[in-house]
Structure 1
């Protein structure tokens, strides 16, 4: 059955994405509050959310934010966190390979983990309308920008202490990502331990941010790739 792209598919994607707003909205509010805490204006927060559209990397960027910001360091750190979108795009080739022009590039821009998971489920259930992915993505993009704006406004109206639990959102989000990626202790523990040890060692050497993060990420990734390559050999 050929792949199609219709308005009905876009509409179905929007409707399927509505339940996701229960998880997206609170996270977006947290990002908006933290953006205000680090000195971003409402306009800057909206621009960041609209262009980056990635909660985990936005939180990391905000944690590394200085005045004036080190743009290169922030961009590299965000790239490390978001590199997972490369295999996600490849996994969506069952629809993306059949799209062209604005449909393809817009769908790629607004694709996140949530829309990826639901699109895979839709495809496995026999769905052939690539508009489903675009509808999901556009809804989550609008919701994300609106939620971060609401968080910024809320943070300006309510004064939060520095030790408020809401500011633990950044480390908590990365712990959640690790939990979602967990496969087994044998596969994951050695690379994760090496990544943590390398990052802590780099920090102990007083290397500037985001060098400890990058060193840990590359060390863990290198070990993981080496182990998987060794196991794949006959």
Structure 2
């Protein structure tokens, strides 16, 4: 097989993945800084703060865990809370694994381990246009992961300077990036119905029972509506 100047190489695929995810990294780094500062404020060392980000790598569950942190730490409650917050990753993994055909089998679990909301959304968008390659996915995830851990360590070192995200204008950055991610799926069938149903369910559950369950409730509502929605052309084909 011959290659030409326009043939993608692993490096160009990696570069494209990094370019795609860079705005999300820019939005996530301030929150990783904040997590590091909050962790130190809760009594963790800088090393423990960095290990938390390295092992968990999930901003929402880390925030929830730190918000519930006390001495001694309620390990069971913290673990269950983190599990509830991240249950949506199971649904996301089922979606993403369909596109990992070019990945060696041994690499697929690592790919799912490094998956976060942003990399999942960008990988899905890429797979809708081109085959998802390991190099492109590495560009989406590896630098994101390393920057998250490094920013957490920096936040732990800076400490009290970063404890109020509103004072620094950081409270809206994550909201903004998720709005952009959602709008990236606006051309998908059922978008106009699924997104309001998911958001409405999450808001209702949070109003009735505040806590992390609203995240999973919204995700399940969207999945169920997508499953029940009639597929265009299905009736004619049958």
Structure-1 residue corresponding to 2:130? 126
CA apart distance, 1:87? 1.9
Q: In the TM superposition, what whole-angstrom CA distance separates every residue of 1:167-197 from its partner, at most 9, and x where no partner exists?
A: 9989996899799779669735763465235
CA apart distance, 1:53? 0.3
Query: What is the aligned counterpart of 1:191 among 189, 197, 201?
Result: 201
* TM-score between the two structures when normalised by the length of structure 2: 0.69
* Cα distance in 2, alignment partners of residues 59 and 169 from structure 1: 14
* Cα distance in 2, alignment partners of residues 193 and 20 from structure 1: 24
* Cα distance in 2, alignment partners of residues 21 and 189 from structure 1: 24
* Cα distance in 2, alignment partners of residues 198 and 28 from structure 1: 30
* Cα distance in 2, alignment partners of residues 41 and 102 from structure 1: 34
Q: In the TM superposition, what whole-angstrom CA distance separates every residue of 1:43-83 from its partner, at most 9, and x where no partner exists?
A: 11011000100111100010011111111111111111111
- 5+ unaligned residues in a row in structure 2: which ranges? 1-7, 183-190, 231-238
Using a 3 Å threshold, how does the CA distance of structure 1 residues 53 and 17 change in structure 2: closer, same or farther? same
**3-state SS of the aligned residue for 2:55?**
helix
Query: What is the aligned counterpart of 2:94 among 90, 93, 100?
Result: 90
- RMSD value over aligned CA atoms? 4.0
Q: In the TM superposition, what whole-angstrom CA distance separates every residue of 1:100-123 from its partner, at most 9, and x where no partner exists?
A: 344212211111111122222222
Structure-2 residue corresponding to 1:205? none
1:40 equivalent to 2:41? Answer no
- 5+ unaligned residues in a row in structure 1: which ranges? 201-211
Instruction: Kindly indicate whether the alpha-carbon contact (under 8 Å) linking 1:57 and 1:78 is maintained by their aligned counterparts in 2.
Output: yes
Query: What is the aligned counterpart of 1:51 among 50, 55, 63?
Result: 55
CA apart distance, 1:130? 3.1
Structure-2 residue corresponding to 1:63? 67
**What is the total number of aligned residue pairs between the two structures?**
214
